[in-house]
Amino acid sequence: MLRFPKFKFPAACMAIACTALAPAVLACTSLLYGDSNNQFYAGRTLELPMELPYKVSYYPAGTTFGSQADKHHVLEFTGQNAFLSIGMPDPVSGDVKVVEGVNEKGLTFSLLAFSSAEGPVDMVDNTQAVLSAIDLGEWTLSQFDTVAEVKEALEEQPVMVTSLLPLGLMKTPFHYALHDATGKSIVIEFANGEKNVIDNPLGVMTNGPEFSWHMTNMNNYTFMSNIDQSKLEINGVKLEQPDSGIATAGLPASNTSVGRFVRAVYYSHFAEKADDADSAITTLSHVMNNFDRPRGITIDNRFRDSIENITAPGVNHNRVYTSEYTTWISLTNLQKRQLYIRTYDSLNYIRFDLDDLTDVEEIRHVELKDVASGPSNATAALNP
C-alpha cells in the first residue's frame, strides 16, 4: 500500500478496474528495439475489452512507498530514482499500480497479464517484510538502475503473489518484463509455485503460457528470415513473386499471446537499425503498429466467459460480443527517458519527458484521457 494520501475512488470505477485486472481479458506485447548506436527503445501495447481510468504519474526520487503482502509486515522503501509511469487503480484500495514505466536510469517495467501466475507458498514469518507482487513496478523503478540489479535484489527479497480481491480471488495474474538502457531484459514470473527471474536476450514478452514455453516455441521458427525468396524455377517454369513481402509468409497470423510473441521477435529483430533517436522512435512506432488490434477484429461471447467479460461493453451493434483491443501503445526512449503514448481514441502520440520533471518534488498524476488528444508534448500536464 502506498504511503501518499489515498484519493477517493468511486465504487463503479473500482468494479470496472477489478474486472480489468482479470487475466483472460488482458493481453500485451512488450519488445525491445535497438538502433545502430546501441541505444534502446521499448515498445508495449495493452489490450483490454474496456477503458480504464489510467493515470500518467511522476514519482520523484525520495518518494516513500510501502507494500504489504497479506499479514506480513509492510515493506517500506524510499525511491532512489525518479520515474514516470502509466498506472491502473488497485481494485480494492484504489491505489495506483504501475502498469508501464521508465525511471531516470532508463530502466523500464511492464506488467503483462499471465493468468496462471502461482507464487511460492508463504513460508515466511509474518514479522518479516515481504513485497507484494503487484508492487513490483514501484519497487523496481524506484530502487534500481539495471535489470542486473533487480535480478540480484530478487535473490534476497521475498515476493508474494497475493490476491487482488477478497476471498483469495485473483492471485495477481501478471508477469513482468523489464528492460534497461544497456539493452538487457529480464522477465519476472511466478509459475508452478516458484519465483523465476529469467534473462530475456530476445527482449520480447507477451502473455501466457510461461516464458520458457515461448522460448521453446521459437525453435519452431528457425526458418525466420527477412530476405524475400521471390524466384523459383521448377521444371523450367520460372515462378516469380512480383511483389515484395513474401518473407513473412511463415509467421503466425494469430493475435494470441503465442502468435504475437513470435512476430514480436521477428519485427523487433529485423526492423532496420535506425541511425538516430528520432528515426528509432518512428521505426519502433511502425513495428508496434503491427500489434495494434482494432476493436471488433476478434470478438468473444461476453456471457460465456468470466465476470469481467460481462462488465466490458459489447462491440457496437453486436452487444453480445466483447472485443479485446489495443487500449494504448507506449514507446519509450531509454536513453532520453521519454515516454510516448497513443490511446485508442487518439490518432496521434503524446510525449512525456522525465528529464523535464527533475525539479518536481512531489508525486503528480494526470488522467490519461485528459491529455491523450492534447499537445504532442504533454509533459507540462505533470508540471503545470
**If binding is defined by CB under 8 A, does position 251 make contact with a second copy?**
yes
The full 3-state SS of 113-169, as one line of letters, equals: ECCCCCCCCCCCCCCCECEEHHHHHHHHHHHCCCHHHHHHHHHHCCEECCECCHHHC
Three-state DSSP at 377 gives strand
| Position 38 contacts a second copy (CB under 8 A) | no
Told to check if 256 binds a second copy by CB under 8 A, we report: yes
Taking the C-alpha atoms of residue 171 and residue 165, their distance in angstroms, rounded to an integer, is 8
Cβ pair 296, 49 in contact under 8 A: no
Q: Pick the stretch among 12-20, 84-92, 146-154, 225-233 that binds a second copy (CB under 8 A).
A: 225-233
Among 93, 230, 335, 383, binds a second copy (CB under 8 A): 230
CB 30 within 8 A of CB 206: yes
Q: How far apart are CA 277 and CA 283, in angstroms?
A: 10
Asked if 128 touches a second copy (CB under 8 A), the answer is: no
Among 80, 157, 196, 248, binds a second copy (CB under 8 A): 248
What whole-number distance in Å separates Cα of residue 231 and Cα of residue 65? 61
Residues 80, 93, 298, 335: which binds a second copy (CB under 8 A)?
298
Check binding of 148 to a second copy (CB under 8 A). Answer: no
Smallest distance from a second copy to CB 376, Å: 7
Does residue 347 bind a second copy (CB under 8 A)? yes
Interface with a second copy (CB under 8 A), residue from 259, 277, 356, 365: 259
Does position 370 interact with a second copy (CB under 8 A)? The reply is: no
Q: Which three cell numbers stand for residue 170?
A: 485473483
Between 1 and 218, CB nearer to a second copy: 218
127 binds a second copy (CB under 8 A): no
Q: Among residues 156, 152, 158, 151, which one has the least CA distance to residue 135?
A: 158
Based on the shown chain and the rule CB under 8 A, indicate whether residue 11 belongs to the binding site for a second copy: no
Interface with a second copy, residue 17, by CB under 8 A: no
- The distance of closest approach from Cβ of residue 125 to a second copy in the complex, given in angstroms and rounded to an integer, is 31
Residue number with CB closer to a second copy (78 or 256): 256
> Helices 136-143 and 147-156: crossing angle, nearest 10°?
120
Site residues (CB under 8 A) for a second copy, limited to 186-205: 201-203
Residue 122 lies near a second copy (rule: CB under 8 A): no
Which residues from 150-179 bind a second copy, rule CB under 8 A? none
Interacting residue with a second copy among 12, 121, 249, 384 (CB under 8 A): 249
Cell numbers given for 318: 453486436
Q: How far is the CB of 152 from a second copy (least distance, A)?
A: 21
Q: Could you say which of 247, 277, 360, 363 contacts a second copy (CB under 8 A)?
A: 247
β-partners of residue 84 are 58, 102
Q: Which residues from 90-109 bind a second copy, rule CB under 8 A?
A: none
The one segment of 73-81, 144-152, 324-332, 354-362 that binds a second copy by CB under 8 A? 324-332
- Binding to a second copy by residue 299, rule CB under 8 A? yes
- Options 123, 127, 167, 223; binder of a second copy; rule CB under 8 A: 223
Establish if 43 lies at the interface with a second copy (CB under 8 A). Answer: no
Position 317: which residue type? H
Residue 238: count other Cβ atoms within 10 Å of its Cβ: 8
Using only the alpha carbons of the chain, give its radius of gyration: 21
**Separation of alpha carbons 371 and 373, rounded Å:** 6
Q: DSSP state, 313?
A: P
Q: Distance of alpha carbon 274 from its chain centroid, rounded?
A: 23
The stretch among 10-18, 85-93, 99-107, 346-354 that binds a second copy (CB under 8 A) is: 346-354
252 binds a second copy (CB under 8 A): yes
Cα 187 to Cα 195, 263, 378, distances in angstroms? 11, 18, 30
Q: Tell me the one-letter amino acid at 165.
A: L
